[in-house]
Amino acid sequence: MVAQDLLEQTTFESEMEIAIISEPYRNRHGGVWVTDSTDGAAIWACGRQAIQCTASQAASGFVWAKISGVYVFSFYAPPSLTLSEFEQMLDNLVLDARGRSPKVIAGDFNAALEWGSRESNVRGRSLIETFMQMDIVLASEGASRKGGQAKL
């Protein structure tokens, strides 16, 4: 819970508008907070920008919200997923994200060096191929396994 308290303090001090969270310890009660069906992926509208709309039915592994005209996706893929399960989650993400633009997709994919994993693997290659097909640009620093930030 200390990590989430630190997140709240950081969002306040930095005047952040949005936090994209993987594996939250608890749902936040203040502000607007949306999660996927497993509570593994979350989006917190923590600033002045309101959520314009969100997924009417949260999927397993990801959730989206439209904030200031941008579709923001939060994704979490547990490392325990089989390759088939992981690829099914990616397929569901692609289907949901198609036609939503502009978009930002962020989260913990547990898959590729580019996102801070220790090694690239089959899941990483599948993820990179999926993002290439969606014409997504990688903006991750990939510097740490936990608490990494993307600059957009």
Query: Confidence band (pLDDT; 50, 70, 90) for 71?
Result: very high
* Cβ(65)–Cβ(97) below 8 Å: no
Distance in angstroms (rounded) separating the CA atoms of residues 119 and 105: 21
Is the pLDDT confidence value at 114 over 70?
Answer: no
Distance in angstroms (rounded) separating the CA atoms of residues 80 and 13: 35
**Mean pLDDT across the stretch 137-143?**
64
Domains by residue range for the chain, with CATH: 2-133 (3.60.10.10)
Which residue has better confidence, 81 or 134?
Answer: 81
Is the pLDDT confidence value at 142 over 60?
Answer: no
pLDDT of residue 144: 45
Distance in angstroms (rounded) separating the CA atoms of residues 85 and 61: 10
Place of tokens 């088939």: 84
For 118, half-sphere exposure in the C-beta direction (CA atoms, 13 angstrom radius) is 1
